[in-house]
Structure 1
Amino acid sequence: MLTVKDHNDRAAAAFTTVAGQHWIEALKDGRHVLIRPLARNDRDREYAFIKRLSPESRHMRFLAQISEPGAAMLDQLMDTDNEQRMAYIALVYENGQLIEVGVSRYAATGAHECECAITVADDWKHLGLGALLMEHLIRTARSNGFHQMYSVDASSNTPMRDLAKSLGFETHNDPDDSCQVIHRLDL
């Protein structure tokens, strides 16, 4: 079994090959992840990430039961321009390759408003990864001129409610669906 030091040493070697804007962040357990903008060549990585999620995690992310993402869904998820539609992925080094373990994203829904979403792999939850991904997303939304960010989530999604609260979002019941809540953050 790999120690945290072994994991971090291997990750550091793999992370040095990454070009472009990125951050290496420490999680609560001492392991490190690489966070960077989603790129076009991440399509297979994004597909594999969604497939590895538990059925409950996929349901919480998409507010529907899906077994696997179709081509149209992947097209939509990969459609980022780093201004109106932004996504950050978190990567770790496992079995000789970089594996996606989390993603945060937003898409403009108005001139100064965007909807956000976050998903963390089941075995990487409760380590602070969601907060790190969202902090990068919030900073980018602010710098891109958005004044408000919101997320529509299942009312039963307690981890998302706790994350939203810790980041300063206000939570209200969705007036159109009693099974959902809306988290809002003034940027």
Structure 2
Amino acid sequence: MSTHLQSEAAALAAAGHDHWIETLEDGSHVLIRPLRSEDRELERAFLERLSPLTRKLRFHAVVKISDALLDSLMDVDYQQNMAFIALAHVDGELREVGISRYAAGEASGQCECALTVADEWKRRGLEQVLMRRLIEVARRNGFSEMYSVDQAIDRDMRDLARELGFCAQLDPDDATRVVRRLEL
């Protein structure tokens, strides 16, 4: 494990912050912790490094990385809106390589989730790690159902959702999208 990640983890522990280090399927290590307000520039850089396809799959459209978008993504209260950030040292720099999040839905007890992993970090097991922790925290915070709205062409999300036990159906309002639900 990188000494940079170890020192980052030690600093977080000393400050009393919840965090953990995961070893992924390829042996690489990531530090995962709740998203904090000081992560804004990490989030901006992460979004800017995503491929156009990954960004479109996440946001369902071509989006400009704006202050307004970042404001909405950084709005986390750790109960109704939660996000976990995955960090790794890449070329001597601490980078965001993935994020999972949920936000309370319109119906009581529901939360909508989203997951984004950097293109070069996909298929290493990071998706499962981030989503399992998110599901666990949503349950603990009293949600009874988690759902996502994904592009029907997104095979990675289809496979991950199936592995995690989500049920899927076409979005009745948009046949290019799939709604996936998980009873918590």
CA distance in 2, matches of 1:89, 1:14: 14
Question: Among 63, 81, 85, which residue is 2:81 paired with?
Answer: 85
Q: Report what 1:11 is aligned to.
A: 5
Q: Which amino acid aligns with 1:80?
A: V
Matches within 5 A, 1:1-187: 8-18=2-12, 19=15, 20-66=17-63, 68-109=64-105, 110-187=107-184
SS at match of 1:17: helix
Structure 1 residues 30-39 or 87-96, which shifts more? 87-96
Taking structure 2 as the reference length, what is the TM-score of the superposition? 0.94
- Deviation string, structure 1 residues 57-84 (Cα, Å, up to 9, x no partner): 0000000012x31111110000000000
Q: Which amino acid aligns with 1:61?
A: R
Contact 1:14 1:93 (8 Å CA) reproduced: no
CA distance in 1, matches of 2:114, 2:159: 14
CA distance in 2, matches of 1:148, 1:100: 28
Gaps of 5+ in 2: none
SS at match of 2:173: coil
Gaps of 5+ in 1: 1-6
- Deviation string, structure 1 residues 85-119 (Cα, Å, up to 9, x no partner): 00000000123332100000000013200000000
Runs of 4+ in 1 over 2 A off after TM superposition: 7-19, 94-97
Instruction: Report the RMSD for the aligned CA atoms in angstroms.
Output: 1.2
CA distance in 2, matches of 1:74, 1:10: 27
Structure 1 residues 125-134 or 11-20, which shifts more? 11-20
Contact 1:89 1:104 (8 Å CA) reproduced: yes
Count of residue pairs the alignment pairs up = 180
Taking structure 1 as the reference length, what is the TM-score of the superposition? 0.93
SS at match of 1:179: strand
Provide the identity percentage: 52
Contact 2:20 2:32 (8 Å CA) reproduced: yes
Q: Which amino acid aligns with 1:17?
A: A
